[in-house]
């Protein structure tokens, strides 16, 4: 790969006070804008996914982009974890506290089966509330959770502590 994780990391823009005062927003869109970097990152993610996985759980919205490219690379399905009112059929839902506010996530009731083995994908692990909610939604579906993959982890927020399954991230800040 021409793009190391360090080089990919250097593309991330750190935007102070967005979307609120006090939040240092990690903007990953410069990675998506760079074809070589995005492809390399997809390879790194894909290499980290165990062979026994049957589906990736993708967190709205930047998680969709990474999960879709990894799933395409590996020939896996993805299930969408979305904000309320977006999924058209029967859902499970879970509410949680976010670094900037309160939110609820939903998953289609038929998205995961009890024999599915899932890895949860997102761009940034901050407080861990979002990923913990996704764990709950996967558990309610009866699937086995193998772990989480994040591009970046904000270590000072201790998000890992909220999670009950193995966490790995390529970049820590």
| Least Å from the CB of residue 147 to ligand AMP | 15
Contact pattern for ligand AMP over residues 35 through 54, marking x by CB under 6 A: --------------------
| Least Å from the CB of residue 45 to ligand AMP | 15
Residue 1's nearest CA partner among 42, 33, 51 is 42
Q: What is the token pair recorded at 87?
A: 């999924």
**Which of 3, 11, 12, 159 is in the footprint of ligand AMP by CB under 6 A?**
159
Residue 134 touches ligand AMP, criterion: CB under 6 A: no
Catalytic residue among 99, 117, 139, 160: 99
Residue 99 touches ligand AMP, criterion: CB under 6 A: yes
Encode 104-131: b = buried (16+ Cβ within 10 Å), e = exposed.
ebbbbeebbeeebebbbbbbbbbbbbbb
Residue 41's nearest CA partner among 71, 59, 10, 66 is 66
**Residues sharing a CB contact under 8 Å with residue 31, sequence separation 6 or more, in sequence order:** 8, 11, 12, 37, 38, 41, 151
The reply to whether 62 belongs to the active site is yes
**Which of 57, 67, 128, 145 is in the footprint of ligand AMP by CB under 6 A?**
128
Q: Which residues lie near ligand AMP (CB under 6 A)? A: 23-26, 59, 62, 98-99, 122-131, 159
Query: Which are the catalytic amino acids?
Result: 62, 99
């Amino acid at each position: 790969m021409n793009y190391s994780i360090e080089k990919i990391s250097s593309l991330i823009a750190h935007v102070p006070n967005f979307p609120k005062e006090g939040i240092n927003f990690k903007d990953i869109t410069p990675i998506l804008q760079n074809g070589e970097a995005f492809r390399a990152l997809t390879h790194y993610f894909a290499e980290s996914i165990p062979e026994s996985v049957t589906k990736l759980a993708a967190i709205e919205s930047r998680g969709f982009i990474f999960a879709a490219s990894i799933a395409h690379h590996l020939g896996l399905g993805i299930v969408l974890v979305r904000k309320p009112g977006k999924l058209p059929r029967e859902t499970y839902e879970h509410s949680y506290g976010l670094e900037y506010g309160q939110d609820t996530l939903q998953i289609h009731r038929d998205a995961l089966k009890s024999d599915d083995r899932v890895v949860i994908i997102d761009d940034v692990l901050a407080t861990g509330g979002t990923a913990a909610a996704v764990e709950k939604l996967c558990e309610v579906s009866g699937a086995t959770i193998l772990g989480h993959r994040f591009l970046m982890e904000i270590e000072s927020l201790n998000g890992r502590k909220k999670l009950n399954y193995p966490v790995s991230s390529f970049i820590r800040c």
